[in-house]
Amino acid sequence: MSTDTLTKPADRGLPTRVLTLASGSAGSGKSTLAGALAEQAAAHGRTVCVIGLDRQRDVSRLLGYDDPDADENQLTLIDVVDGLGTLDQALVPGRHSKTKEPIPNLWLVLESDRLDSLSVKLAGVTGREMWLQRLLQELIGRFDIILLDCPGNLDLGTQGALIAATEIVGCTKSQEKEARGLTALEDKIADLHKTFGLMGMRDGLDWIVIGEGVTGVSQGKVYFDIERQVREAYGDLVVQPTIRDDVKVPESYSASLPVTLYNPKTEAAIAYVKVGKAMKLYD
């Protein structure tokens, strides 16, 4: 499919929300959440851009591009960092992985397997942690929502996304490893804020989304207690509802589709729709 047939959003002075989806732990459901929120916000008429920062390229896969590095003529995010093009030139339409039809209102900047070289590429750059904030200026005002899907670590890619965010979304599960990742994320935010707070960086989490949660004590008291502790610790920051464990989520990943597009009537898809509404991404 050629992108020439689709018109990229122009600058309309939109009050762009930049949501960074992050965690101090891998496997916390960030890409699944990014794909579902992006697809639903676009379906509700919002103009959405997704930028993936993970060399695993999961969100690119969910939104129609199984192997972004395979197309030598298509710019990826790391190509933009290398100065081979701009974010505007790297924009591609989100598309249905099976039909290849474009998803209206949804655009993305593709990930690359070479994103693990980001720290090396920016080693000599002054204020290198602000690399993404500088790049994003080209897109601000053109999209209602920009979603930044971070890798499962707190390295330079995630740091850049945290600094660039207007809202920070902590992603976790009803498991100890992922819950501890929230604490690590908070520590990193606090550390970065000391230096970049005067430049507008957020000073804490704005939302917390719990994925793959159990439905009751019968499914595992430890998991149930961890979810309860997260809700007690973070209060209103925790978005309702919890995304309950649902076989359709791994099925949708295997099908390379957001679960909200793969099976919109499944429990997890319905929960993701409600999460987006709770975050006021759409009505």
pLDDT digits 0-9 by tens, 220-274:
677 788 888 999 999 999 999 999 889 999 999 999 999 999 999 999 999 999 9
**pLDDT at 277 > cutoff 90:** yes
Q: Is residue 168 helix, strand or coil?
A: strand
Q: Which amino acid is at 24?
A: G
For 71, residues 6+ apart whose C-beta sits below 8 A from its C-beta are none
Instruction: Place 170 in a pLDDT band, splitting at 50, 70 and 90.
Output: very high
pLDDT reported for residue 216: 55
Q: Which amino acid is at 10?
A: A
For residue 92, what are the CA distances in angstroms to 54, 77, 99, 122, 247?
17, 11, 16, 25, 30
**pLDDT at 119 > cutoff 60:** yes
Percent of the chain with pLDDT over 70: 95
pLDDT reported for residue 220: 65
pLDDT reported for residue 6: 82
**pLDDT at 3 > cutoff 70:** no
pLDDT reported for residue 219: 54
Give this prediction's pTM. 0.95
Sheet bearing 48-52, strands edge to edge: 91-95, 102-109, 48-52, 145-149, 17-22, 167-173, 207-211
Give the Cα separation of 219 and 211 in Å (integer): 15
pLDDT in tens, 176-198: 888 899 999 999 999 999 999 99
pLDDT reported for residue 1: 36
Percent of the chain with pLDDT over 90: 87
pLDDT in tens, 68-98: 999 989 999 999 999 999 999 999 999 999 9
